[in-house]
Structure formats: structure tokens, C-alpha cells
Amino acid sequence: MAITATPTPGKKLISPTDHALILIDFQSQMSFATKSIDATLLRNNAALVSRAAAGFGVPTILTTVAEKSFSGPMYAEITDAFPGQPLLDRTSMNTWEDAQVISKINEIGKTRLVMAGLWTSVCLVGPSLSALDQGFEVYLITDACGDISTEAHERAVERMIQAGVQPMTALQYLLELQRDWARTGTYDMTTGIAKLYGGAYGLGITYAKTMFGAHEG
């Protein structure tokens, strides 16, 4: 049977309006033992994801564990992107077992969730598998997560993928939200975020625009 192609995006691609973002336990105490990713890169990727979500208006939940008594403040790279937004502090390691977080998820009303945080094997496995079990669709930004070892991070990601979680990266998240350079309303914001946090890709944008006045559109 012949298949006819059409210029329409696949249903598995994310858009600014079809999901909620949950950022989990990006805190000092959790970071000290994180060894699977360099702390500077982790903070950079967390900033990239946060700026992308804030810029595109993605409903975002910021949650911490034992913020004042043990784990410390959430990264400023994240909270600066969402000024004034309250942090939902928990006692449970599994975000999905916290009533105030679940209340917020239900209030937002999205069945597609994108998650990132520390540590991959505990604070991401718990809510990811729990959300899947209740019929949600889950994406994981793998390079905005970290764990006490590469082994711990990789086995956790594998476990989640086998259960049905879909992996992606921080830069991929930003570019998938934009997806078309003809969308001029968010073009400058997207390239601006990429220039600040997009690594070598961001340097390339800066170079092309400075030297040649280049424009992706």
C-alpha cells in the first residue's frame, strides 16, 4: 500500500503547548556527589532548559527536597528564569508521591511531561515510572540530569527507556520548541539562548551573525 507524505510534524515531537516541564532537586547538596556530568555543564544545561521553557511559556514545576533543612537552594540558573515562582518542597524522594506536586500537575492538565533533575537513579526514575504507570507520556532531558556515577546515570536512563520514557537533550529541547526558523516571534529568543548556553553551536551562531550577518531563515 502506498504511503503519501505530508509536510506535518510527527505526533511524538514536543511543542510549547503540549507538555509540562518538571525540574527536580537541582540543589547544592545533590550536586556535591554528582559525578556523571561536570557541574558547570550541568548548570549550563539546566539554564538552557529553563530559559527555553520560560521563553516559550511552557508550564513548569520547580520542586526541591528538604530545601531549608538539608539540600540547599535550587540553582539560580533555574529560579532566575522563573522569578517569583514558588518552589514545591518535599520530603519524599519520589516527586510523584508528593500531594502538592500532583495537585499542580492536575491543575496544569498536560498528559505529556518532560523531566530533568538530580539524581537520575532516584529522583527521576521514581516520578517517571510512576507517571507512566498512570498513563502519562514522559520525556527525559538526559544531559540535564546527573548521578553519583556514570554507571548509576546510564543504568537509570536505560531502565526508564525500557519502561517507555523518551530521551532527549537540552539543546534538542530548545530547538524542538522552535522547530521552524520562519517562526519569527521566537527566533531572536531561541538564537539568543543558544548563543549563551548552546556550546559550540552557540559560538557558531555568534560567528556567523557577526562576520556575515547570517540568518537561519
pLDDT 10s digits, 70-98: 788 999 999 999 999 999 999 999 999 99
Q: What's the pTM value of the predicted model, to 2 decimals?
A: 0.94
Angle formed by the axes of helices 199-212 and 184-197, nearest 10°:
120
State the pLDDT at residue 216: 64
State the pLDDT at residue 69: 72
State the pLDDT at residue 25: 97
Contact in structure between 98 and 89 (CB atoms under 8 Å): no
State the pLDDT at residue 214: 64
Contact in structure between 85 and 113 (CB atoms under 8 Å): no
State the pLDDT at residue 66: 75
State the pLDDT at residue 215: 66
State the pLDDT at residue 113: 99
State the pLDDT at residue 91: 95
User: Which residues of the chain are under the pLDDT cut of 70?
Assistant: 213-217
Q: Taking the mean position of all CA atoms in its chain, how far away is CA 37?
A: 15
The domains located in the chain, with CATH, are: 20-176 (3.40.50.850), 181-212 (no CATH)
CA angle, residues 45, 119, 92, in degrees to nearest 5? 125
State the pLDDT at residue 142: 98
State the pLDDT at residue 217: 62
| pLDDT per residue as tens digits for the range 7-41 | 999 999 999 999 999 999 999 999 999 999 999 99
